[in-house]
């Protein structure tokens, strides 16, 4: 895996399986790791919002969530880079978590959707330790939310607040949260809810 820059975004040139393997390695590590799935809107957003640059450089892994990015990469001779959507990543990591005993916290979506997603995940993986909280909160609620997440001791935190808010949230609180693997997953929690 080398790095391919498209505009400001340093993409890792991994296959989907390599991305999953990286993520499970991160989940087993002590230190916090940040993974971003970047689609075309996100790439364009990074041109307008300079405040996102340190976050891009600090992320452990940025994967392309858009076929245009994959095609651009092929033109540059990177045939190993594959599209990895937030949903695919979440689904594969939930399966890995059930197998390996990782605890998973889902932050985001409406209260109804979050509750449905938790029920669906528990139905698929009865042995998986999963908890969650909806993504509609004020800045004043953040300390309480950080406490709630920390108290659960997750290895994996999936944050679905929409891009780039979820990436900013993860970046701002990565040390406070100190979760081994944190990923922004967009509308994935709604999809898990069915």
Name the site residues for ligand UDP (rule: CB under 6 A).
Answer: 108-110, 135-136, 160-163, 186-187, 189-190
Please, what is the minimum distance in Å from the beta carbon of residue 29 to ligand UDP?
26
Helix (H, G, I), strand (E, B) or coil at 180: coil
Q: Which is nearer to ligand UDP, 110 or 178 (CB)?
A: 110
Half-sphere exposure (Cβ direction) of 115: Cα atoms closer than 13 Å: 3
Q: Which is nearer to ligand UDP, 96 or 113 (CB)?
A: 113
Please, what is the minimum distance in Å from the beta carbon of residue 75 to ligand UDP?
25
Please, what is the minimum distance in Å from the beta carbon of residue 139 to ligand UDP?
12
Please, what is the minimum distance in Å from the beta carbon of residue 136 to ligand UDP?
5
Report the chain's C-alpha Rg in angstroms: 16
Comparing CA positions, the residue from 163, 169, 185 lying closest to residue 114 is 185
Half-sphere exposure (Cβ direction) of 4: Cα atoms closer than 13 Å: 22
For residue 114, the surrounding DSSP H or E stretch is: helix 111-124
Q: Which is nearer to ligand UDP, 123 or 139 (CB)?
A: 139
Please, what is the minimum distance in Å from the beta carbon of residue 183 to ligand UDP?
12
Would you say how long the chain is, in residues?
194
Q: Which is nearer to ligand UDP, 160 or 180 (CB)?
A: 160
Residue 41 burial class via C-beta count within 10 angstroms: exposed 0-12, middle 13-18, buried 19 and up: exposed
Q: Which is nearer to ligand UDP, 18 or 190 (CB)?
A: 190
């Amino acid at each position: 895996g080398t790095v391919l820059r498209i505009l400001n975004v340093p993409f890792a040139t991994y296959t989907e399986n390599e991305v999953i393997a990286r993520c499970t390695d991160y989940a087993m590590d002590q230190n916090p790791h940040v993974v971003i799935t970047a689609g075309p809107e996100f790439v364009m957003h990074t041109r307008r919002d300079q405040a996102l640059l340190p976050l891009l450089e600090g992320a452990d892994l940025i994967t392309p969530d858009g076929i245009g990015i994959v095609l651009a990469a092929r033109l540059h001779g990177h045939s190993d880079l594959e599209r990895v959507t937030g949903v695919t990543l979440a689904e594969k990591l939930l399966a890995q978590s059930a197998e390996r005993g990782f605890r998973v916290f889902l932050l985001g979506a409406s209260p109804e959707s979050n509750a449905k997603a938790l029920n669906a995940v528990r139905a698929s993986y009865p042995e998986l330790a999963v908890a969650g909280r909806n993504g509609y909160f004020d800045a004043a609620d953040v300390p309480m939310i950080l406490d709630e997440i920390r108290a659960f001791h997750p290895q994996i935190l999936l944050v679905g607040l929409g891009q780039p808010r979820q990436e900013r949230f993860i970046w701002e609180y990565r040390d406070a949260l100190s979760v081994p693997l944190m990923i922004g997953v967009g509308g994935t929690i709604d999809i898990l809810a069915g």
